[in-house]
RNA sequence: UGGGGCGUAGCUCAACUGGUAGAGCACCUGGUUUUGAUCCAGGAGGUUGUAGGUUCGAGUCCUACCGCCCCAGCCA
């Protein structure tokens, strides 16, 4: 046996560190001696749950820190109390930890810096680089100009620093209602980059903040809070998505004009898009709040909570993120790539079990009534250390409806009258007869067995092409099994301005009741609660769902196995 | 008809300062197999968006054009 640990595996996330244009920059800076160490940050806004797109950012930021011996901060961008909630702050931390990353002592909030940010705003005012604007939002929009036409200066643009200071302090004191005034940077209303047309730095919001309560009635905007927070934390590389490219000049303008303790650099990469799903927070919130799914952890969702509940292992998710790379190209990753990464990981680690989803009774007429044979079944053929378990075999078994055909095509290797198949880890059986109901449906299959084939070995070495899974009718555990498919039928739901809801896949969740599982599956713990994701042989990977209980177990399919027979069958049918 | 980005295989990404275009996924063959899985071997698939230019030589440099994405929140 070769040592598996020495085998290079491109999909395993313990291999060589990935390289991409961001990491090239980081390593270049390190070699040039620009920084003592690398400091990155993952900066979620706590206004929703994390999804697989965030996983890309998390793996990038925490990954770079790990690879360079630096550190990565978890910082909540909590600058808008109108949208943010403590429950999201809690859920996000759980999700990042689950993905496998640790921020140690480095948990921060933009709100930690509110006082400092306020003082820096005053500094800008003192320098004549910011002013309080009394214009309404509509007036501001009109005077901002358009993409092709320059804006015009606000009538309040030339207030004195003293007047601005007084007004800004009054804003802080809560003297004005929401929207009455804003603090704006004084840059250039004719700038071709609209972000430089006197961007808003502070706005009045009278709403309780999850962390600062009612201490503030003004809040910094993203642009004013983000870069300065980076500077305060000594972030060296501030990584964000492409839509912030236009903000970089503003990011740099603020860093240059403020007495900040460090000068972080912003770099942008393309966000993840995944086929057959949506990854915009707005759309995800809509799916949850309008009840199209059962909650943020609905297994059909691409949220980390949903993936976790579905039994997706964090290692598999990380391998996927690794495989898709990092670039500046706005692209759509095929869901097939995620599934392949999950299968690759699960194939190596998942325990094998047997379960029958759509049961058909198989009666072995030659088997002694009442006799039970406890057979050895290997837990994981890919892992010698995984051991084996005992599986009960009896006269009456459940087999998959798909594994029997009365009139089978040529290359059908499973059960069909007169054909011998192997019952996995059990015996070789030959179909002799079928029982039908009044409508002609097969409701029971009869067979004889070869008593010398215990364990599934042909005593004379004869070839038996088909092997099917089964569950003892006497010992089987009744269960509900849920099969998950694409949430949306189209590759890019909502593309071209369409309503993504029109593409919702009604078959995204298929609930099967009356399934039978081998006894070892009783009392399984859901993956989301630290339990295992196991392989049901020939069917895919499954985990227990929290909706179930030991009395009435529910399982959910993480991902199916590759199924070339399905392709062959489909071809034959067409 | 402004500004910022991006175009390499069906998809996602590689290709150090210019030197014969590669990988993973997907697809197709064949082999192994007590999971029609896994594994192994092989195959197909590119005029590197287009057109010029520089060069002995261009995916890499230059010019022009085409296409797609982002920006006119007191969201992030």
What is the pLDDT confidence band of residue A574, given thresholds at 50, 70 and 90? low
Q: Is there a catalytic annotation at residue A233?
A: no
Instruction: Given the residues A159, A181, A197, A281, select the one marked as catalytic.
Output: A281
Question: Separation of CA A37 and C1' B73 in angstroms?
Answer: 36
A350 pLDDT above the threshold of 50: yes
Per cent of chain A over pLDDT 90 is 94
A436 to each of A360, A361, A402, A433, A501, how far by Cα in Å?
12, 12, 16, 10, 43
| Statement: the CB of A449 is under 7 Å from strand B | no
pLDDT digits 0-9 by tens, A509-559:
999 999 999 999 999 999 999 999 999 999 999 999 999 999 999 999 999
| Statement: the CB of A150 is under 7 Å from strand B | no
Assess contact for A490 and A276: CB atoms under 8 A.
yes
* Chain B bases near protein CB atoms (7 A cut-off): 1-8, 10-15, 23-28, 34-39, 68-76
Q: Which residue is nearest to nucleotide B13 (CA to C1')?
A: A325
| Residues A538, A555: Cα–Cα separation, whole Å | 16
Say what the pLDDT of residue A15 is: 57
A243 pLDDT above the threshold of 60: yes
CA-based angle A469:A452:A428, to the nearest 5? 25
Q: Which of residues 56-95 of A touch strand B (CB under 7 A)?
A: 77, 79-80, 82-83
Quote the tokens at residue A320.
């996927």
Assess contact for A424 and A467: CB atoms under 8 A.
yes
Q: Is there a catalytic annotation at residue A84?
A: no
| Statement: the CB of A149 is under 7 Å from strand B | no
Quote the tokens at residue A321.
């993120």
Say what the pLDDT of residue A569 is: 86
| Dihedral pair phi/psi, residue A122, rounded to 5° | -65, -35
| Residues A556, A521: Cα–Cα separation, whole Å | 13
The secondary structure of A56-111, three-state, reads: HHHHHHHHHHHHHCCEEEEEECCCCCCCCCHHHHHHHHHHHHHHCCCCCCCEEEHH
Q: Which of residues 186-215 of A touch strand B (CB under 7 A)?
A: 192-195, 199-200, 203-205
Mean pLDDT of A467-482: 98
A1 pLDDT above the threshold of 50: no
A466, with CB counted inside 10 A (0-12, 13-18, 19+), is: middle
Mean pLDDT of A374-385: 97
A259 pLDDT above the threshold of 50: yes
Say what the pLDDT of residue A497 is: 80
Q: Which of residues 246-305 of A touch strand B (CB under 7 A)?
A: 246-247, 270
Mean pLDDT of A249-261: 98
Quote the tokens at residue A117.
């940010």
pLDDT digits 0-9 by tens, A351-366:
999 999 999 999 999 9
Q: What average pLDDT does chain A have?
A: 95
Mean pLDDT of A106-130: 98
Using C1' positions and the CA of A334, the closest nucleotide is B11
Quote the tokens at residue A90.
């809690």
Question: Separation of CA A59 and C1' B17 in angstroms?
Answer: 31
Provide the β-strand partners of residue A556.
A482, A543
A492 pLDDT above the threshold of 70: yes
Say what the pLDDT of residue A3 is: 29
Question: Separation of CA A24 and C1' B33 in angstroms?
Answer: 44
| Residues A519, A477: Cα–Cα separation, whole Å | 6
A67 to each of A56, A169, A294, A316, how far by Cα in Å?
16, 45, 38, 19
Say what the pLDDT of residue A570 is: 82
Using the structure block, give the residue that is written with the tokens 């598996």: A4
Q: Which of residues 101-140 of A touch strand B (CB under 7 A)?
A: 135-137, 140
| Interface ipTM | 0.97
Other C-beta atoms lying within 10 Å of the C-beta of residue A353: 25
- Domains in chain A (CATH in brackets) are 10-109+226-342 (3.40.50.620), 114-222 (3.90.800.10), 353-472 (2.40.240.10), 477-573 (2.40.240.10)
A6 pLDDT above the threshold of 80: no
What is the pLDDT confidence band of residue A149, given thresholds at 50, 70 and 90? very high
Per cent of chain A over pLDDT 70 is 97
Quote the tokens at residue A63.
């990954």
Mean pLDDT of A560-571: 90
């Amino acid at each position: 046996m070769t040592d598996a640990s020495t085998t290079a595996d491109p999909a395993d996330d313990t291999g060589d560190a990935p390289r991409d244009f961001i990491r090239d920059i980081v390593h270049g800076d390190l070699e040039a001696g620009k920084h003592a160490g690398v400091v990155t940050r993952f900066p979620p806004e706590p206004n929703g749950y994390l999804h697989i797109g965030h996983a890309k950012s998390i793996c990038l930021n925490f990954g770079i820190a790990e690879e360079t011996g630096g550190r990565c901060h978890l910082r909540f961008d909590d600058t808008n109390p109108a949208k943010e909630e403590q429950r999201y702050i809690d859920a996000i931390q759980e999700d990042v930890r689950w993905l496998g990353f640790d921020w140690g002592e480095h948990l921060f909030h933009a709100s930690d810096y509110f006082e400092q940010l306020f003082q820096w705003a005053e500094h800008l005012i003192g320098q004549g680089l910011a002013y309080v604007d009394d214009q309404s939002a509509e007036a501001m929009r009109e005077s901002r100009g358009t993409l092709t036409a320059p804006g015009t200066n606000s009538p309040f643009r030339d207030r004195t620093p003293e007047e601005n200071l007084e007004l800004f302090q009054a804003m802080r004191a809560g003297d004005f209602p929401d929207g009455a005034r804003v603090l704006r940077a004084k840059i250039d209303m004719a700038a071709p980059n609209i972000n430089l047309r006197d961007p808003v730095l502070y706005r009045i919001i009278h709403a309780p903040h999850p962390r600062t309560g009612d201490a503030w009635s003004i809040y910094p905007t993203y642009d004013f809070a983000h870069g300065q927070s980076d500077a305060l934390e000594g972030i060296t590389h501030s990584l964000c998505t492409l839509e912030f490219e236009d903000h970089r000049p503003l990011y740099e303008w603020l860093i240059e004009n403020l007495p900040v303790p460090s000068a972080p650099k912003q770099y942008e990469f393309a966000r993840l898009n995944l086929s057959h799903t949506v990854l915009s927070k707005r759309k995800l919130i809509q799916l949850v709040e309008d009840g199209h799914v059962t909650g943020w952890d609905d297994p059909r969702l691409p949220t980390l909570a949903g993936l976790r509940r579905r039994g997706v292992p964090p290692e598999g998710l990380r391998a996927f993120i690794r495989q898709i790379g990092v670039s500046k190209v706005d692209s759509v990753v095929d869901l097939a790539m995620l599934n392949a990464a999950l299968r690759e990981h699960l194939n190596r680690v998942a325990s094998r079990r047997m379960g029958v989803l759509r049961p058909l009774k198989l009666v072995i007429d030659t088997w002694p009534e009442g006799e039970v044979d406890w057979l050895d079944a290997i837990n994981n053929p890919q892992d010698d250390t995984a051991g084996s378990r005992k599986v009960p075999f009896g006269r009456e078994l459940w087999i998959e409806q798909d594994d029997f055909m009365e009139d089978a095509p040529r290359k059908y290797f499973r059960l069909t009258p007169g054909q011998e198949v192997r019952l996995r880890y059990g015996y070789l059986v030959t179909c002799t007869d079928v029982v039908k109901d009044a409508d002609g449906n097969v409701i029971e299959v009869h067979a004889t067995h070869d008593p010398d084939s215990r364990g599934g070995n042909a005593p004379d070495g004869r070839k038996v092409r088909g092997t099917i899974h089964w569950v003892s009718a006497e010992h089987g555990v009744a269960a509900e099994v849920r099969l998950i498919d694409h949430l949306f039928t189209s590759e890019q739901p909502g593309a071209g301005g369409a309503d993504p809801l029109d593409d919702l896949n009604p078959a995204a969740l298929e609930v099967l009741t009356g399934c039978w599982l081998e006894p070892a599956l009783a009392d399984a713990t859901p993956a989301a609660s630290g339990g295992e994701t196991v392989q049901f042989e020939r069917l895919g990977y499954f985990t227990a769902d929290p909706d179930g209980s030991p009395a009435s177990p529910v399982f959910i399919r993480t991902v199916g196995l590759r199924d070339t027979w399905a392709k062959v069958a489909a071809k034959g049918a067409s």
